[in-house]
Structure 1
């Protein structure tokens, strides 16, 4: 099995302020679904910052990993702790331009978006690859915990009218299958993360890491 993984960390703290996000204000989901020139089998996956895949539409970039693990975080104002108002999470990603290699400005505001892309090139072997994400049961701060189900994400791809292929969702404290990636296809969109803020938590910095995996038999 060919497999490539990347990680993103989610952190919750309880000291300062952050802008509120209303789910009702979120627009329709979109994604980029692009064609790749066929060739020897290769998987390409990125979450946040990463290396360009190579010449546009070929996935012929240097094999390996960028080694970057981006951070997504939110700080909950004391006066709003546990009031059930969803809070937008910020990102330290700076990746705005597509890694497909065409220079498209896929995620115009990476400080609130994380670019997620998955590509599968083939001329033989399995017809599809599978994109999944795994999360632990909880974010932790010492012995205190917050269920990972408190964190969800929405998706967008400005300027694209293509149907959503890497969907919005909520972490489940396990593994979620996000998308089936057909051969010689590249999917890409922007994920914006939201903390549900559904209960009062003990003060602290809560950490947890989620792992995105693209695989083909």
Structure 2
């Protein structure tokens, strides 16, 4: 019988960020919020972030399967090393009350007037085809999916749930002068018995406006 693998690891990183500051204070129930117009800029944070500076933190979600869990074939929840529970929007609202099981993702796009720049920005995520071990064993990245939530939100799916495709996926479009935010909870499908080992891979979230 094969033994259970050590953690199947998925590292999350936000890259290529331009951080904006001075967001207009508004009620924080919606999590799809209108913000003050400003010179054209984008803002993105994934997991542990900083509202007024670039942040190079790479957060990790992982699943450490026992033999019983592996053989069950049941999907397995993944935990996070993120500690970001409070919104970076400016009001310190507790959007993600259990960061050890969630990763907060927030993004905004601003422009100064309707004729100044594109009408929206695109939030995308890119994943490799597989998680891999140093021995060369692989798990398709499509075995990793996520659900979404946002405490106090009327639109918790403003960034929708999904499954990694092993390529670049468009998650959502952000209109001008809008901030969105929610929490992602990751799951490993556990659809087949895998060789023992540490399976590692990194996904990159990007926000861009052409």
**3-state SS of paired residue (1:81):** helix
CA drift at 1:83: 3.0
Are the aligned partners of 2:122 and 2:172 in contact in 1 as well (CA < 8 Å)?
A: yes
**3-state SS of paired residue (1:149):** helix
Give the structure 1 partner of residue 23 of structure 2: none
Number of residues of Structure 1 aligned to a counterpart in Structure 2: 182
Give the structure 2 partner of residue 6 of structure 1: none
**Correspondence for 1:103 among 72, 88, 92:** 92
Unpaired runs of at least 5, structure 1: 1-12, 17-29, 53-60
Give the distance between the partners of 2:92 and 2:206, measured in 1 at CA: 24
**3-state SS of paired residue (2:174):** strand
TM-score between both structures, scaled by the size of structure 1? 0.80
TM-score between both structures, scaled by the size of structure 2? 0.83
Q: 1:68 to 1:178 in 2, by over 3 A?
A: same
Unpaired runs of at least 5, structure 2: 8-28
CA drift at 1:154: 0.2
**Correspondence for 2:106 among 117, 124, 147:** 117
Give the distance between the partners of 2:98 and 2:140, measured in 1 at CA: 28
Q: Which runs of 4+ in 1 moved over 3 A?
A: none
Give the structure 1 partner of residue 64 of structure 2: 75
The answer to whether the aligner puts 1:49 opposite 2:48 as a matched pair is yes
**3-state SS of paired residue (2:101):** coil
Give the structure 1 partner of residue 149 of structure 2: 156
CA drift at 1:162: 2.2
Give the structure 1 partner of residue 21 of structure 2: none
What does the per-residue CA deviation read over 1:8-49, in whole Å, with 9 as the maximum and x for residues that have no partner? xxxxx8248xxxxxxxxxxxxx97101110010110000000
Q: 1:169 to 1:158 in 2, by over 3 A?
A: same
The answer to whether the aligner puts 1:89 opposite 2:78 as a matched pair is yes
The Cα RMSD (Å) is 1.6
Higher strand share: 1
